[in-house]
Chains A and B, each alone.
Chain A
Amino acid sequence: MTDLVRMTSIDKSFPGVRALVNAQFDLRAGEVHALMGENGAGKSTLMKVLAGIYKADAGDILIDGQSLDIGSPAKARDAGIGIIHQELNLMPHLTAAQNILIGREPRTAFGLLLDEPALNARVAELFNAMHLNLDPATPVEGLTIAKQQMVEIVKALSYRSRILIMDEPTAALNDAEVGDLFEIIRRLKSEGVGIVYISHKMDEIKRVADRVTVMRDGAFVGTVDAKETPISKIISMMVGRELTNEASVVPDLSANPIVLEVDGLNCGALVRNISFTLKQGEILGFAGLMGAGRTEVARVIFGADPKESGEIRIRGRTVPINSPQDAVAAGIGYLSEDRKQFGLIVGMDVRNNIAMASIPKFIGPLGMLDESGMRDAARDHIARLAIKTPSERQETRLLSGGNQQKVVIAKWLLRDCDVLIFDEPTRGIDVGAKSDIYRLLNELAAQGKAIIVISSELPEILRLSHRIAVMCEGRLTGILPARSSQEQIMQLATRLGDEPTTRVMQ
């Protein structure tokens, strides 16, 4: 077999991050080559380089043995490279056919008018060739996510791609739909198309892939045969790194009362029958792959999304939480993974941000704000959390990521929350500030706060958590004790469910 693609010594940096370090990858005609690795390992980045969406800082890309400078998506397409993005990129108001041939519509009358019948006929042919039973004239917004995925695939193939990149194509598909997709993949393989298959799901890799390449921290780890290599070997390649960080010290929590009790929580496909308890002074880590439903669970507990069923009890009493307002009143604080969008008002100063959730405390006579009270509270928390800022009047956008995170924490401490949910507390924070945040979380737990930490970084989970809840596809697949191994967590995080999880787009 000839090499369709050979990528060698690929480097790519983003401001502050080395996303790819001497990465390599190759693809043969007629094979499915799985690309695996933890979140942030560089899989998607490497493939976006191949698809011309990012430009590599260094390295060579050979297509059919010829060196090629892929500078733009259009050039990649001309070279026969198609990519199906993780997030769907369709125009919902247009029909399936209009989406697939956008910019390449059949025309009549000197190229001025659209020939809609010809458009639909051409797409119907494409659908037939793929044995897809889909009406080309259906508006995309009326299709299930699975069918939208199929439309994306047909669109990519309609450019006569010989190299097809699928980035987590089954994330939104149920078992039957996955079966359909694999049928199409097999057909494409037999036609000599080379397929790059990015996925976290081990059983899928076993079913569909010929070879597996594992990446870690932006670098190439190894390429192995998919059928012959045991899953445990692949997982250990993915996890790889030694645990140099200190492990968590679990305090004796046996005498502590249960603060938060979640029972049978359901909401959509990503929160399926979630039940757990959280004790005073405990740090419960939530591990799982991207899209496993961890953030969604937090949002439901916080009342940001409506729950379909289930109960939330605080100190044994059922509390009806229908809005973030209810959650805050019940003593639950949520620190979003997207600080700048949901956690802070970056254009306002530190003082106002800290006071933002506790304004009623600072209303003086005649409804005027008690500015000196706010100042004292802000100064108090700046000292307590060691927030590095010239004064409490500094605009928060001028602070570093770690200090911004501390301002958010201060906001919820001032509100006197018993339960704090941290969603990716150290995302975008440099290493030094990370250990600061870790120390702070431990202190808060020691003071009796009940804490949930959601993190995609296993070392972080292992270092902080007193217990580790692992999620996969909206279900809680297990709760592990502290000092569990990364392999144990990954096994639970990639365990495939038995229930189909089709979502329908609104």
Chain B
Amino acid sequence: MTAVSEIPEQRFRARVSGWQHRLLAFSGLIALIVVFSLASPNFLQTQNVITILQATSVNGVLAIAATLVIISGGIDLSVGTLMSFCAVIAGVLITNWGLPIGIGVPGAILAGVAGGLVSGLLIARLRIPPFIATLGMMLVYKGLALAISGAKPIYFTETPFFIKIATGSVIGAIIPSLPIPNGVLILFLVAMAIAFVLARTVLGRFIFALGSNQEALRLSGVNIERWKISVYALAGGICGIAGILIASRINSAQPSIGQGYELDAIAAVVIGGTSLNGGRGTMLGTMIGALIISVVANGLRILSVSQEWQIVVTGLIIILAVYIDILRRREA
């Protein structure tokens, strides 16, 4: 009853527009790599590549948490300080209380889930706007981390295995020529797992539906409060994983290290083409976004550009990425 020829065309257009941004981000990443490797022979050396990947791991994991929340139409400003709070919990459990790593690590991740649950409850039940709720929780976690640790770092000197969690290399043990640190492997596994959750599970479907049209989802008879809370809880758990990674990398739980990470995480999400309006976004895009941030930082450092200017460049890239997204939408 309708012209058949219309259908493939419409699908094509909808798909291309989503791909365009990721393709652009990916080409941007490649272009950056080419430019930096031409500018400095050190850039593409194995050791530097591993440094870049290792530097991406913590921000990458946090960006995954931020992506989930942003696709669902929310925002989470507390991912950074929740991460350091979880690191401190790991320090308390493992170093202060002498519990085994096998309890300390899941304990820290559970602390992250609990933190996410609180944010979710504030947002879904008390209807506090996500920006405000997570801004408040950002300060709560920051303060708690300082209070619990006595504002001093907790070191993992008595548990030498802890440092291996992020810095050891399972892959390197099997393939000696490929000493990729575990932190990078964990980032990869988390990204794969969450990509799967988004694509194949009910939670994933509702994350997109919430961000796309929350009211339509509610009128379809779905308990949107419960699912919203789940999104924040899952994101909180991922922050817990990031907390373990960062504590392991620097072999200590630093109570105030996380502040500022939330902005890098959101930057990675935005550069990767996830819409801040919700309903749209991919794991692959976020990973590319996180890599772009680390590559820029690393490349500029190798070229002896001062850190101040690295920050300026990152800021400009964020603005450029969002502007490209706006242009894309205008054409569509």
Q: Which residues of A pack against B, CB within 8 Å?
A: 73-74, 77, 89-94, 98-99, 102-103, 105, 107, 112-114, 116, 131-135, 137-139, 141-143, 147, 180, 183, 506
Contact check, A89 vs B213: say whether CB atoms are below 8 A apart. yes
Chain A residues with CB under 8 Å of B205's CB are 94, 98, 102, 105, 114
Given A91-B279, A138-B7, A141-B14, also A74-B221 (CB < 8 A): yes
Report the separation of the CA atoms of residues A397 and B211 in the bound assembly, to the nearest whole angstrom.
32
A97 to chain B, nearest CB (A): 11
Cross-interface CB contact of B7 among A93, A94, A134, A506, cutoff 8 Å: A134
State whether A114 touches B10 (Cβ < 8 A): no
For B220, B279, B280, the residue with the greatest tally of chain A CB atoms inside 10 Å of its CB is: B220
Contact yes or no, B10 A180, CB < 8 A? no
Can you show 18 pairs from A to B with CB atoms below 8 A apart? Answer: A74-B221, A90-B213, A90-B216, A91-B208, A91-B217, A98-B205, A102-B220, A114-B201, A133-B4, A133-B7, A134-B7, A135-B7, A135-B11, A138-B14, A139-B14, A142-B11, A142-B13, A180-B2
Q: How far is the CA of A139 from the CA of B14 in the complex (A)?
A: 7
Decide yes or no whether B225 CB sits under 8 A from chain A. Answer: no
Which of A91, A105, A132 lies in contact with B216, CB distance below 8 A? Answer: A91
Residues A73 and B219 in contact, CB atoms below 8 Å apart? yes
Q: Give the A-binding residues of B (Cβ under 8 A).
A: 1-2, 4, 7-8, 10-11, 13-14, 200-202, 204-205, 208-209, 211-213, 215-217, 219-222, 279-280, 332
Who on chain B is nearest to A155 by CB? B220
- The smallest beta-carbon distance between B47 and chain A, in angstroms, is 41
**Chain A residues positioned under 8 Å from B279 (CB to CB):** 91-93
Contacts of A99 in B (CB 8 A): 216
A271 to B324, CA, bound (A): 32
**Which residues of A sit under 8 angstroms from B7, Cβ to Cβ?**
133-135, 138
Q: Which 6 A-B pairs have the closest CB atoms?
A: A91-B212, A142-B14, A93-B279, A93-B212, A142-B10, A91-B213
- Given A91-B213, A107-B202, A114-B205, is A137 in contact with B2 using a C-beta cutoff of 8 Å? no
Q: A94-B209, A112-B201 are in contact. List 17 more A-B contacts (CB 8 A).
A: A89-B215, A90-B216, A91-B209, A92-B213, A92-B279, A94-B208, A98-B209, A102-B205, A102-B216, A102-B217, A114-B200, A114-B204, A133-B2, A134-B7, A138-B7, A139-B14, A143-B10
In the complex, how many angstroms separate the beta carbon of A161 from the nearest chain B beta carbon? 14
- The docked-state distance in angstroms from the alpha carbon of A143 to that of B217 is 19
**B residues less than 8 Å from A131 (CB atoms):** 1
Collect the chain B residues with CB atoms within 8 Å of residue A91's CB.
208-209, 212-213, 216-217, 279
Find the residue from A116, A131, A135 having the highest chain B CB count within 10 A.
Answer: A135
Most chain A beta carbons < 10 A, residue from B2, B7, B8, B222 = B2
Enumerate chain B residues within 8 angstroms of A137, measured Cβ to Cβ: 11
- Residues of A within 8 Å of B280, CB to CB, are 93
- Once bound together, how far apart are the Cα atoms of A451 and B204, in whole Å? 54
Residues of A within 8 A of B222 (CB): 102-103
CB pair A134–B202 under 8 Å, yes or no, is no
Q: Across the interface, name the chain B residue whose C-beta is closest to A113.
A: B200
A143 CA / B6 CA spacing, docked (Å):
10
Q: Find the A residue at minimum CB distance from B7.
A: A135
Residues of the B chain whose Cβ atoms lie less than 8 Å from the Cβ of A183: 1
Complex Cα spacing A113 to B217, Å: 19
By beta carbon, the residue of chain A nearest B2 is A133
Residues of B contacting A73 in the complex (Cβ-Cβ under 8 angstroms): 219, 221
With A and B bound together, what is the CA distance between A353 and B11 in angstroms?
A: 48
Question: With a CB–CB cut-off of 8 A, which chain B residues contact A134?
Answer: 2, 7
**Cβ of A116: which chain B residues have Cβ within 8 Å of it?**
200
Known: A89-B215, A114-B201. A138 touches B10 (CB 8 A): yes
Residues of B within 8 A of A506 (CB): 332
Taking the nearest CB of chain B, how far is it from the CB of A108, in angstroms? 9
